[in-house]
Structure 1
Amino acid sequence: MMPQQLATDRELLDGVLRPYRNHSRYLREAEVTGRPDTVSARGRFGIAESCYIDDTGHFNAVEFNICYNQLGYYLIAKCVEDRLFEAFSTWTMADFWERQLSDVLIYRLGSRFRRMINPRAFEGEVVFQEPRVSVRPGRPAVMSMETTCSFWDDEGGSADGTVKLAFTRLPQLTA
């Protein structure tokens, strides 16, 4: 089966970035690729100035997390909109917008910085594995997803990481 390629949806990207302050909207464009057991998004980023600290001259851990969040939220939105994973089949876009900030949690994050990345212009990729829904007696269901990410620039800078996401208040159980 050929991978499904989805170009940047500008309206969706603008919606995903709406919760961020203007000076902290680092993701410029994103392309999504869907495969049977994984989906991924590649994005282009630019950080004109850090949203929280004087210029360090390089991409740092806080910006790593922010860029992961922005590309990850975009990829989740595409998973919902285009039904890229069965686990999102009961979600609507209204469900995503309602839960984007409150119910998509980073459960675990690990990052490695191999070479300094120029924050002015770089790229990144987030890869999602098939989500799992866990149901335990007397507790609300939780969906979890293992993800990986990487960032790089044209000068050989690179960083990568692993992130486990947890989704709470799943739509099919609260409707």
Structure 2
Amino acid sequence: MRFGDDEALLERVLRVYKPHCRYLGSATVTVKGDPADEGGQVRVRGRFHIPESCYIDDTGHFNAVEFNICYNQMIYLLIAKSVDGRLMRSFDGWSMDDFWARQLEDMFIADFHSSFRRPMRGRRFWGELDVVEAFQGDWGNGPFLFLRTTCRFGETEEAAAHGKVLVAVKAAAGAAGFSAPAP
């Protein structure tokens, strides 16, 4: 199943960013099963434009800060689309109002690894993020939904930067769930 660019949803998702930091310009979402099931995957592929760095003089290359911002914009959009389109069981019971209320407070990166295989200018490029596993866990401070993800960014067909990121989402009271091993 493939979902084309949803400009209205993307605009709303990016409202939490300062206007000069809204790098994700368009995106499509593809579903190949539920990430809660072995082999299931939900993917977002986006087009990015970074006219200038939001925090430092021009470094001349795509760097870890920009990687993280672009990653965040894709995961927020992917979760919003998953709630809106009922793409992952993990978000059953969520409304879009739940997503908007929880976007910043209840979603965060638990573990982050990035690697840069070759230089990339990083002004106009693509990015892909896959949710490859979804499971519940408890780190001693309540239940969380964890999304194990992989991502990559590139200017040419071949990716120049790769990452593996574990996202934690605070479980909502009464949210649908399933059991799986903790991270």
Secondary structure, counterpart of 2:8 in structure 1: helix
Secondary structure, counterpart of 2:57 in structure 1: coil
* 1:1-175 matches, cutoff 5 A: 4-36=1-33, 37-134=40-137, 140-154=142-156, 158-172=160-174
Structure 1 unmatched ranges of 5 or more: none
| Residue type of the alignment partner of 2:163 | G
Residues 114-158 of structure 1: CA deviation (Å, up to 9, x unaligned): 11112111000000024112368x853211110000000028660
Shift of 1:48: 0.3
Identity %: 47
TM-score of the aligned structures, taking structure 2 as reference length: 0.87
Q: Distance in 2 between matches of 1:130 and 1:147?
A: 7
8 Å Cα contact 1:77/1:93 also seen in 2: yes
Shift of 1:78: 0.7
Shift of 1:169: 4.3
RMSD: 1.7
8 Å Cα contact 1:91/1:172 also seen in 2: no
TM-score of the aligned structures, taking structure 1 as reference length: 0.91
Number of positions where the alignment pairs a residue of Structure 1 with one of Structure 2: 169
Shift of 1:171: 4.7
Q: Distance in 2 between matches of 1:133 and 1:75?
A: 18
